[in-house]
Chain A
């Protein structure tokens, strides 16, 4: 479901795709990952559904891209790190002693997982099936004056 790039430059698009792939890596037919469900496109589509949010999103991606330069002194931007380097960088957020860095990683996970684990193809693989424990035969209606006599 390509949603267009939402005004993302190829570089920012790569940042988004790399982040998605590190957080939910692809691997094997039974374990779909970010690439298998076009997660970057889904995230762009989601952000675009909030009027005006794309601008802030682009800025946040650029900030993330540049952040290794001043947070880990790797002298490389995020998209130029190897996959292992990107994993190490994310790990430094996960294990940070600063609450807000750890919380930010949880937020990032949420951003990608809200689409990934909302995808019917993923539901099938993890065995999740929406539905009620008891058959939903009919909806219980709102109160009506007739109900008082029941």
Chain B
């Protein structure tokens, strides 16, 4: 059963074996797995309930309704890095590009080697990935829905002999509508509100929307429930109170709001690591003017990858977005910008993310809001420059007339020679425009309670029965989109909860 804030006219008190905070990639997996085992589960979501019919192609309305703070979340630094976060049923899975990758074996081995994490070897994680992929319908992008933007990137990569291919996505019956980040209008992108949440609900989990948790209740060193407010949908202001008492509390509010809740409650931070080690996978975006008609908005916006440069810490994955979001990131203003936008049908766009070593931080800011800082280190800036250069090179190989690299002193490139100039030039972080979509690492797992927040199963070292099941727990960046990794690790944590905490 899914309840909304408007369903209530009096304070709510609930009790369950498990309360899950957040309905993005991690929370619904725990809710479904434990509800299926017969446990009583309550899942809480701060944002509104959504259904496929609610989605609108108008970015302004979509960002306002389905994103936190209208999509304006930002990490402060030079450069500042905006990273929009979903805030609705299904969390960011409702508004992401739907790209699925297993955690690379290399990363799992690194975590074993550098952080001593056992039981996460590739062969041990494989069943979790397989289970998740079945439930979310992980399938590769097919030529029918790829669209010309993806075809152009693959053509350029092939011309240069770079390793590349179509991405795997959580999708079934995708029609290539091009608006994944505004909410899928076909139901083809299988966000958690279309798979895990209905399953959890079927097995008896209660799902509440429009509820903001403010307090984690702890008794004798163990989590025993949560308290918070039922929000007025329009104003966002607290309207009524609610509380849930539970044996297990699962924090799955994402890598910004999970640590924030711990910081607000002054909990689980004996290591001093809560909110630290923030990684973002900062991404760049490059546009290109082609002779051919691209109609880039038709087809899967993030359809292909180029992983040729993964060893250099660069993964090329692009998103083509609608005109509202394209205009501001193209160079110039006035006539020159308008002229470019009136060639929108001939524009292609692709991007790349870097495997960041920078460590940002989430702090408790004014009025309980997060203060996020991320000062990019020079090594990561260099990766950003490479990411731009490789993407530009691919576009030129595919026949681009001009390339727009989002470098402040090089608004456009007219020949591949400028790619080399860029690579050999002195570029500062503040010369580039980054965006990010994958915050992680702020409640990292580890084997030593002195330098990690949770143990290898996501349980707090300090507060018994308090689990973190989202991207916060990853001890380094993944180098790939994190959704499937979050789900697989959440599934693993749910199995642990079932075996060690709830059985019998």
What residues make up the interface of A, taking CB atoms closer than 8 Å to B? 22-25, 27, 31, 33, 46, 49, 51, 87, 90, 94-95, 99-100, 102-103, 105-107, 109-110, 113-118, 122-123, 125-128, 130-136, 139-145
Q: Which of A95, A126, A130, A135 contacts B57 (CB 8 A)?
A: A130
B60 touches A114 (CB 8 A): yes
Q: Which residues of A contact B342 (CB under 8 A)?
A: 31, 125-126
B328 touches A139 (CB 8 A): no
A139 touches B186 (CB 8 A): yes
Q: Which residues of B contact A31 (CB under 8 A)?
A: 338, 342
Cβ-closest chain A residue relative to B429: A99
Complex A-B: 14 CB contacts under 8 Å: A25-B335, A27-B335, A46-B60, A90-B333, A109-B328, A118-B324, A126-B344, A127-B344, A127-B345, A132-B185, A133-B176, A139-B187, A142-B193, A144-B198
B345 touches A126 (CB 8 A): yes
**Known contacts A126-B344, A133-B299; is-contact A33 B338 (Cβ 8 Å):** yes
- Docked pose: A113 CA to B178 CA in angstroms: 19
Interface string of B165-180 (1 = CB under 8 A from A): 0000000110111110
| CB of B4 to closest CB in A, whole Å | 16
B334 touches A87 (CB 8 A): yes
Judge if B329 is at the interface, Cβ distance under 8 Å: yes
B198 touches A117 (CB 8 A): no
Judge if B323 is at the interface, Cβ distance under 8 Å: yes
Judge if B147 is at the interface, Cβ distance under 8 Å: yes
Known contacts A136-B185, A140-B172; can you find 9 more A-B pairs with CB under 8 A? A22-B334, A23-B337, A25-B335, A95-B408, A105-B333, A126-B341, A133-B298, A134-B176, A143-B202
Q: 8 Å CB contacts to A: which residues of B171-213? A: 172-173, 175-179, 185-188, 190, 193-195, 198-199, 202
- Docked pose: A115 CA to B59 CA in angstroms: 10
**Known contacts A127-B345, A142-B195, A143-B198; is-contact A106 B328 (Cβ 8 Å):** yes
**Known contacts A25-B338, A143-B199, A145-B202; is-contact A94 B323 (Cβ 8 Å):** no
- Docked pose: A23 CA to B342 CA in angstroms: 14
B60 touches A139 (CB 8 A): no
Interface range on chain B: under 10, 10 to 19, 20 to 34, or 35 or more? Answer: 35 or more
Judge if B433 is at the interface, Cβ distance under 8 Å: yes
What residues make up the interface of B, taking CB atoms closer than 8 Å to A? 52-53, 57-60, 64, 78-80, 144-145, 147, 172-173, 175-179, 185-188, 190, 193-195, 198-199, 202, 235, 295, 297-299, 322-324, 326-329, 332-335, 337-338, 341-342, 344-345, 408, 430, 433
| CB of B293 to closest CB in A, whole Å | 8
B175 touches A118 (CB 8 A): no
Q: Which residues of B contact A127 (CB under 8 A)?
A: 295, 344-345
B80 touches A103 (CB 8 A): yes
Q: Which residues of A contact B295 (CB under 8 A)?
A: 127
- Docked pose: A106 CA to B72 CA in angstroms: 13
**Known contacts A116-B327, A123-B323, A126-B342; is-contact A140 B187 (Cβ 8 Å):** yes
Q: Which residues of A contact B185 (CB under 8 A)?
A: 132, 136, 139
B334 touches A132 (CB 8 A): no
B79 touches A99 (CB 8 A): yes
- Docked pose: A102 CA to B57 CA in angstroms: 29
Interface centre among A46, A142, A144 (most CB of B within 10 A): A142
Interface centre among B59, B147, B328 (most CB of A within 10 A): B328
Q: Which residues of A contact B80 (CB under 8 A)?
A: 99-100, 103
B186 touches A94 (CB 8 A): no
- Docked pose: A107 CA to B329 CA in angstroms: 9
Q: Which residues of B contact A143 (CB under 8 A)?
A: 194-195, 198-199, 202
- Docked pose: A62 CA to B112 CA in angstroms: 57
